[in-house]
């Protein structure tokens, strides 16, 4: 697949970065043949507070960048109230959608085949409010997807009619609520394999950003949330189209290696 054809794919991802942390590679002494031995691989563990950010790229294009803000108690109460209202209207909306569907050609065809008895196409599930430890589906959809992500996808669709959105399988991306709202907006999404960060080129850009933060500041760490947010926005601005294209162009080789590993990820992308 030529690199330019990856322009149909919009890659997105979140990154969490620790405030006051040290970033970059951890070096170990090993024999040349022991790249993937368990005792030569270190698990990453965050110790302190962190900032969550989000970005979007494609071949030849750098998309929007977003830094999550902590919610106030007032905002949390307002969100809870809106969720209760949403859940209250779920049954009525589901009934209206299925009533309209039963007037469609699709339902008539099922009826002729005797497959439509007690059949419902739409099932809207009630939404549960997530805990305060991270981003939940409501926050993802109302704060990021509706105002920024999905309008960007719709604008790109004018240029690339076959465009597809790439998101990983984090619960907030693949919840019933998120999927339903995205489908209403007409956004098509890639069927993404689980546990495959090496297939997403934006992951490599996060590594570049963390490395630059570390290199430029050395032992003088970023120790406050407001400074980290500012630094992240500055580093995103420094990412070039050439760097994005380089990472996207690696995908054919990465995919080939992944196939040769029968879906494994013990290789260098």
- Top pLDDT among 107 and 185 is at 185
Task: Read off the pTM.
Answer: 0.81
CA distance 206 to 44: 15
My answer on whether 63 and 74 are in the same domain is no
Domain boundary among 88, 106, 134: 134
3-class DSSP state of 224: coil
For residue 148, tell me if it sits in a domain: no
- Top pLDDT among 10 and 253 is at 10
- pLDDT tens digits along 20-37: 766 555 666 677 776 667
Domain boundary among 85, 108, 134: 134
CA atoms within 13 A on the CB side of 258: 17
Amino acid 100: pLDDT: 80
- Top pLDDT among 173 and 25 is at 173
- pLDDT tens digits along 72-104: 889 888 888 888 888 888 878 878 877 887 788
Amino acid 269: pLDDT: 56
User: Around Cβ 235, how many Cβ atoms within 10 Å?
Assistant: 20
**Domain count within the chain:** 2
For residue 114, tell me if it sits in a domain: yes
For residue 175, tell me if it sits in a domain: no
My answer on whether 80 and 23 are in the same domain is no
Band of residue 164 on the pLDDT scale cut at 50, 70, 90: very high
Domain boundary among 100, 134, 168: 134
For residue 41, tell me if it sits in a domain: yes
Amino acid 174: pLDDT: 92
Residues near 257 by Cβ (< 8 Å), separated by ≥ 6?
267, 269
CA distance 236 to 65: 7
H/E element holding 1? none
CA distance 57 to 228: 22
For residue 181, tell me if it sits in a domain: no
Q: Is the pLDDT of residue 16 over 60?
A: yes
The residue-averaged pLDDT of 224-252 equals 94
For residue 267, tell me if it sits in a domain: no
The CATH number that applies at residue 20 is: 3.30.420.10
- Top pLDDT among 115 and 137 is at 137
Mean pLDDT over the full length of the chain? 84
Domain that holds residue 204: 3-68+193-261
């Amino acid at each position: 697949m030529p690199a330019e054809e990856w322009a149909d794919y919009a890659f997105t991802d979140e990154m969490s970065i620790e405030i006051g942390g040290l970033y970059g590679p951890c070096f170990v002494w090993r024999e040349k043949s022991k790249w993937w031995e368990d005792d030569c691989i270190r698990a990453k563990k965050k110790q302190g507070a962190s900032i969550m950010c989000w970005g979007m790229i494609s071949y030849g294009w750098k998309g929007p960048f977003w830094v999550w803000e902590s919610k106030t108690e007032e905002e949390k109460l307002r969100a809870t109230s809106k969720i209760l209202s949403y859940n209250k209207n779920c049954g009525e909306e589901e009934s209206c959608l299925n009533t309209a569907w039963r007037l469609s050609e699709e339902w008539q065809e099922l009826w002729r085949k005797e497959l439509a008895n007690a059949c419902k196409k739409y099932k809207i599930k009630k939404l549960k409010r997530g805990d305060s430890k991270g981003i939940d589906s409501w926050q993802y959809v109302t704060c990021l997807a509706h105002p920024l992500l999905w309008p960007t996808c719709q604008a790109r669709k004018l240029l690339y009619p076959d465009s597809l959105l790439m998101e990983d399988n984090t619960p907030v991306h693949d919840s019933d609520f998120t999927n339903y709202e995205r489908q209403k907006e007409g956004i098509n999404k890639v069927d993404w394999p689980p546990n495959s960060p090496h297939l997403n080129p934006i992951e490599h850009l996060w590594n570049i950003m963390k490395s630059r933060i570390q290199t430029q500041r050395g032992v003088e760490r970023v120790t406050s949330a407001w400074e980290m947010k500012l630094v992240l926005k500055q580093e995103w601005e420094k990412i070039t189209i050439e760097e994005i294209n380089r990472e996207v162009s690696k995908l054919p080789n990465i995919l080939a290696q992944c196939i040769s590993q029968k879906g494994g990820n013990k290789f260098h992308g």
